[in-house]
Amino acid sequence: MVAAEDDALDMLQYCLSGTITDIPTWGHEYLRALSGQIGKEYDLRVEKNQDTDDLMKVVDIIVPEFINHNEEPEAVDLMMETEALDKLNSFCNERNFDRVCRYLCSCSQYAADTEEMIQSYTTAYTIYKTQQQYPDALRVAQKMNDLELIEEIMKECKDPLVLKQMAYMLGR
């Protein structure tokens, strides 16, 4: 893995031709190298308009392993590379959502285009809302300058103290 050429996709090809169910047993370093090759292969297939379903099956196995081992940035990067940020919410829980969302928001500042930035913010907003972190969701909605999302989060919150806090945030 370490001595492989930069353009080599051998590991990924071997993985896809074998049984992909026991990938996590190969170790953390293998998963990291595999995720890099998945990103390269995904880009090649998208350029050629080829199917990426088999890659997404491997991604769905790797991402929970990254998240469960406190490597949320690697998981988010892989989801960004494979344009699957919308599935990230299903992998988040009360233990890891904050790191995922903070990383998403920090990555959005370096997005190549406005669409990528909005997708990162929207994913963070959805995760915060799912975890009932309404002030954080409001902050993200304000960054997107989306009045509909701001109104939605204000209506969804039922705690009067949190509503006051959010009203102060809006007033500021």
Residue 96 lies in a domain: no
User: Can you tell me the distance from the alpha carbon of 138 to that of 149, in angstroms, rounded to the nearest whole number?
Assistant: 8
Question: How many domains does the structure of the chain reveal?
Answer: 1
Which DSSP state fits 51?
-
Confidence (pLDDT) at 1: 47
Confidence (pLDDT) at 6: 62
Domain enclosing residue 19, as ranges: 1-83
Average pLDDT, the chain: 89
Confidence (pLDDT) at 5: 61
Confidence (pLDDT) at 18: 75
Amino acid (1-letter code) at residue 114: T
User: Can you tell me the distance from the alpha carbon of 153 to that of 158, in angstroms, rounded to the nearest whole number?
Assistant: 10
Per-residue exposure over 20-34, b if at least 16 CB sit within 10 Å of its own CB, e if not: eeebbeeeeebbebb
Residue 14 lies in a domain: yes
Residue 154 lies in a domain: no
Within the chain, which residues score under 50 in pLDDT?
1
Confidence (pLDDT) at 7: 66
Residue 35 lies in a domain: yes
Confidence (pLDDT) at 82: 92
Nearest to 34 by CA among 54, 13, 64: 13
83: left (phi over 0), alpha (psi -120 to 50) or beta: left
Q: Burial-class residue 7 by CB neighbours within 10 Å (0-12, 13-18, 19+).
A: exposed
Residue 79 lies in a domain: yes
Residue 125 lies in a domain: no
Residue 36 lies in a domain: yes
Nearest to 62 by CA among 82, 35, 80: 35
Residue 15 lies in a domain: yes
Query: To which residue do tokens 């997107």 refer?
Result: 144
